[in-house]
């Protein structure tokens, strides 16, 4: 059976080899005058559109400069200072310099939740072994007003000089 299949395969291959091939005919590429005409007309159309665009851009309005600069503030006139005010300020500073600042120590800060939010109370010790409890806005030692109370710092504004004094927890 194998021998019969091999004979059939050999006969088939020899028959295929004996068939002559038909020579190929080379066709000349047809000239394409229609396509080149279409491309030429398209190129002319693009060039005319570009020329029209250049004309329109030449007559377009120029962009305006900025009307205002948001990063520069308008100049302000210097405030007037009365001539009597510096003498009085100098007198106040001299009086304050004559009275020493009281010795204040921040002992602790207490927090409580209220309907308004978180309220902090500062516990301050004085040099006379007094303990004062103050909140924001209260006056202290008839000289300071409590400006702010943070988690570990309190800011006191000196009512005579306007300077700010900070006390921190140790």
Q: Select the more confidently predicted residue: 154 or 89.
A: 154
Q: How confident is residue 155, by pLDDT bands cut at 50, 70 and 90? A: very high
Asked if the model's pLDDT at residue 167 lies above 70, the reply is yes
Find out whether 120 and 104 touch, Cβ atoms under 8 Å. Answer: no
> Whose CA is closest to 97, among 158, 157, 167?
158
Find out whether 138 and 147 touch, Cβ atoms under 8 Å. Answer: no
The first and second tokens of residue 91, run together, are: 């007198």
Q: Read out DSSP for 130-152?
A: -EEEE-TT-EETTTEEEEEE-SS
Cα–Cα distance, 144 to 159 (Å, whole number): 6
C-alpha torsion angle, residues 91, 94, 96, 101 (rounded to 10):
170
- For the stretch 93-147, pLDDT in tens is 566 556 678 888 899 999 998 888 889 999 998 887 788 899 999 998 888 999 9
Global pTM reads: 0.43
Task: Just give the CATH number of 102-168.
Answer: 2.30.30.830
The first and second tokens of residue 149, run together, are: 């109370």
- For the stretch 44-83, pLDDT in tens is 999 999 999 999 988 888 777 767 777 877 777 777 776 5
Strand-pairing partners, residue 124, are: 106, 132
Q: Where are the alpha helices (DSSP H) in the chain?
A: 2-17, 33-58, 84-98
The contacts found for 92-98 with CB under 8 angstroms, 24 or more apart, are: 92/160, 92/161, 93/161, 95/160, 96/158, 96/160, 96/161
- For the stretch 7-18, pLDDT in tens is 999 888 887 776
Cα–Cα distance, 143 to 99 (Å, whole number): 11
3-state DSSP: the chain helix, strand, coil percent, rounded to 5? 35, 25, 40
Q: How confident is residue 4, by pLDDT bands cut at 50, 70 and 90? A: very high
pLDDT (0 to 100) of residue 162: 87
Asked if the model's pLDDT at residue 85 lies above 60, the reply is no
């Amino acid at each position: 059976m194998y021998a019969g299949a091999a004979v059939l395969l050999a006969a088939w291959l020899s028959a295929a080899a004996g068939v002559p091939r038909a020579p190929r005919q080379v066709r000349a590429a047809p000239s394409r005058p229609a396509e080149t005409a279409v491309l030429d007309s398209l190129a002319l159309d693009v060039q005319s559109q570009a020329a029209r665009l250049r004309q329109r851009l030449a007559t377009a309005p120029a962009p305006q400069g900025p009307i205002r600069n948001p990063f520069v503030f308008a100049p302000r006139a210097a405030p007037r200072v009365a001539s009597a005010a510096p003498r009085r300020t100098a007198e106040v500073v001299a009086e304050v310099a004559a009275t020493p600042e009281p010795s204040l120590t921040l002992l602790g800060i207490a927090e409580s939740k209220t309907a308004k939010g978180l309220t902090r109370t500062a516990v301050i010790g004085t040099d006379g072994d007094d303990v004062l409890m103050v909140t924001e806005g209260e006056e202290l030692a008839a000289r300071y007003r409590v400006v702010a109370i943070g988690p570990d710092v309190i800011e006191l504004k000196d009512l005579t000089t306007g300077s700010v004094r900070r006390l921190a927890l140790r």
